[in-house]
A and B are shown apart, each in its own frame.
Chain A
Amino acid sequence: MGNLSDPILQQLLGGIFGALALGTIVGQILKRRARSPGARETVANMNQRIMSWWVMCVVFGVAVLTGGIASIVLFALLSFFALREFITLIDTGGGDHRALLIAFFIALPAQYVLVAVGWYGLFSILIPVYAFLLIPGVLAIIGDTRDFLRRTATIQWGLAVCVYSISHAPALLLLDVPADYRGREALLLFWLVLVVQLSDVLQYVFGKLFGRHKIAPRVSPNKTWEGFFGGVTCATLIGAALYWATPFGPLEAAGMALLVALAGFLGGLVMAAIKRDRGVKDYGELIPGHGGVLDRIDSLTFAAPVFFHVTRFFY
């Protein structure tokens, strides 16, 4: 698993913390220079985000470094917080209580135990097959038929997005990688999270700088074509430039990064559509400047399973 003596990991970590340090310095300079109230607010929000990035990077870095189990526990916790935010947002009633207990306290831990023990077969069908059948079954036994289909579907969808999809990120540690890459699977996870998050940040930055044409104004007023092309292109280039941290060649890494950035973009858009549907701004208030956990990992929910399966298929 992750090992601090691995020069590749050292360079990645050095790069990330270097970038954060740079961001922090720039943020402090901008804070001094900001004059108008609008500019001050933007800079304050940016600095708050950078601080949160520090915390998130340290937590993620420590988890990857200390090995597989720590990463699995971290993603299980992320799933837990994400599912809690998702369920909070939908209208569940007393009739859903037992089904929710199953989702939170049986399906979620079981999914991550399967990652930990490396049981790929059951890992890939636990939620799409067994939870899919058990949850409507429990709801039917409880007998509340009001909005039955909507309640079944939303609980199942929450599990699929917040638990099943996210669990594909630590499941990268299970992949049967080429012999010369063995022992470095954690780097693959690192690379995925880095590309997805950079793609998000860069789409935001390009959108702020050059954004004119909105992609889906009713869903997400800040997603623009300029931000999309700038962010996805840069994330693809960075992903390709970091090919040495992956089992891929430079071109393959570029293709993978492009795929991951596109899937992540769709994920962000879909999760934003749900927020609009429910009439909220953020999924939660856990991470200052970012909203909830689900606001931060929305792109990863789509990118992780796609990346996992494409990698599994080709390598």
Chain B
Amino acid sequence: MVASLIAGVARLVTGAVAVWLVPARGEHVRVYFANHSSHADFATIWAALPPDLRARTRPVAAADYWSAGALRRYLMAKVFHGVLIDRAGGGEAATAQMAGVLRGGDSLIMFPEGTRGDGRVIAPFRSGLYHLAVAVPEAELIPVLLVNLNRVLPKGESIPVPVIARLTFGAPIALEAGESKSVLLERARLAVMALDVRSKPTEPSPER
């Protein structure tokens, strides 16, 4: 109940418009990977999923941040069922932990930039996504572009402004035979950026 309440509030505050360029339900587990500019990011992605999938889609989050404070611990453990990664623990342990979740049949939400950006530039991706693609090849890697989340709740602010956010779920990408780590990661980053429709010119439309 807390979960659907939070999902409702997240949708209300961000007014989020979700665009699905890929069916909302896939045949395999999924790794949703998105650009990161706000603390509201993963709640927004999570709230845009069909309710039954929400329970089986878990955000990957930093243990040091989300273990601080009772509320954060409660939200991560009981509501979002987050996969808490020990940032000091090294890549292999993290990959094994995430791969275990995928093999268990749950999907993941992750932010491969590793840290929140300013919302204008998408930073180079960290290697976790690549290692995960190698470890669980059947998982669908779904690029997600979040627009305006940095305006809803920028870094360092605590009260959100109700700017309308937009999130676009793109077609999955897959690790190709012999593809190197850096090539896949850059391709994944470009796949997120390619979902930006703002760069396309729009025609004057029929009057509303």
* Residues in chain A within 8 A of chain B (CB atoms): 80, 84-85, 87-88, 92-94, 97, 100-101, 104-105, 204, 207, 218-223, 268, 272, 276, 279-282, 284-285, 290-291, 295-296
Judged by a CB distance under 8 angstroms, whether B35 is at the interface is no
| Bound-complex Cα distance A285 to B202 (A) | 16
CB pair B159–A281 under 8 Å, yes or no, is no
Judged by a CB distance under 8 angstroms, whether B137 is at the interface is no
| Bound-complex Cα distance A276 to B203 (A) | 9
CB pair A290–B163 under 8 Å, yes or no, is no
CB pair B204–A276 under 8 Å, yes or no, is yes
| Bound-complex Cα distance A268 to B118 (A) | 35
CB pair A291–B208 under 8 Å, yes or no, is yes
Residues 160-177 of B at the A interface (beta carbon under 8 Å): 161-164
CB pair A101–B159 under 8 Å, yes or no, is yes
Contact partner of B207 (CB less than 8 A), chosen from A100, A218, A223, is: A223
Residues 189-208 of B at the A interface (beta carbon under 8 Å): 198, 201-208
B115 to chain A, nearest CB (A): 16
Residues of chain A within 8 A (CB-CB) of B154 are 93-94, 97
CB pair B162–A94 under 8 Å, yes or no, is no
With A92-B151, A276-B204 known as contacts, the answer to whether A285 contacts B17 (CB < 8 A) is: yes
Instruction: For the complex of A and B, list the 4 residue pairs with the smallest distance between their C-beta atoms, beginning with the closest.
Output: A222-B207, A281-B205, A94-B154, A88-B164
| Bound-complex Cα distance A92 to B153 (A) | 12
CB pair A272–B207 under 8 Å, yes or no, is yes
Interface size on B, residues (CB 8 A): 24
Residue of A88, A100, A218, A268 with highest tally of chain B CB at under 10 A:
A88
Contact partner of B162 (CB less than 8 A), chosen from A104, A219, A284, is: A104
Residues of chain B within 8 A (CB-CB) of A84 are 15, 162-164
| Bound-complex Cα distance A87 to B152 (A) | 11
| Bound-complex Cα distance A101 to B152 (A) | 10
Contact partner of B163 (CB less than 8 A), chosen from A88, A204, A280, A281, is: A88
A263 to chain B, nearest CB (A): 18
A-B contact pairs, 7 of them (CB 8 A): A80-B162, A88-B148, A97-B154, A100-B161, A104-B162, A282-B208, A295-B208
B95 to chain A, nearest CB (A): 33
| Bound-complex Cα distance A105 to B162 (A) | 10
CB pair A280–B202 under 8 Å, yes or no, is yes
| Bound-complex Cα distance A104 to B162 (A) | 8
Closest A residue by C-beta to B200: A279
CB pair A97–B157 under 8 Å, yes or no, is yes
CB pair A87–B163 under 8 Å, yes or no, is yes
| Bound-complex Cα distance A119 to B161 (A) | 28
| Bound-complex Cα distance A84 to B164 (A) | 7
CB pair A290–B162 under 8 Å, yes or no, is no
Judged by a CB distance under 8 angstroms, whether B87 is at the interface is no
Apart from A94-B154, A97-B157, A218-B204, list 6 A-B contacts with CB within 8 A: A85-B164, A92-B151, A94-B118, A221-B204, A284-B164, A290-B208
| Bound-complex Cα distance A8 to B177 (A) | 75
Residues of chain B within 8 A (CB-CB) of A88 are 15, 148, 151, 163-164
B4 to chain A, nearest CB (A): 21
| Bound-complex Cα distance A94 to B198 (A) | 19
| Bound-complex Cα distance A11 to B150 (A) | 50
With A279-B201, A281-B202, A285-B17 known as contacts, the answer to whether A101 contacts B208 (CB < 8 A) is: no
With A84-B164, A101-B159 known as contacts, the answer to whether A93 contacts B151 (CB < 8 A) is: yes
A148 to chain B, nearest CB (A): 18
Residues of chain A within 8 A (CB-CB) of B164 are 84-85, 88, 284
Residues of chain A within 8 A (CB-CB) of B150 are 94
B156 to chain A, nearest CB (A): 8
Closest B residue by C-beta to A222: B207
Residues of chain B within 8 A (CB-CB) of A97 are 151, 154, 157, 161
Residues of chain B within 8 A (CB-CB) of A280 are 202
Closest B residue by C-beta to A218: B204
Residue of B148, B157, B162, B201 with highest tally of chain A CB at under 10 A:
B162
Residue of B118, B161, B205, B208 with highest tally of chain A CB at under 10 A:
B208
B123 to chain A, nearest CB (A): 17
Judged by a CB distance under 8 angstroms, whether B155 is at the interface is yes
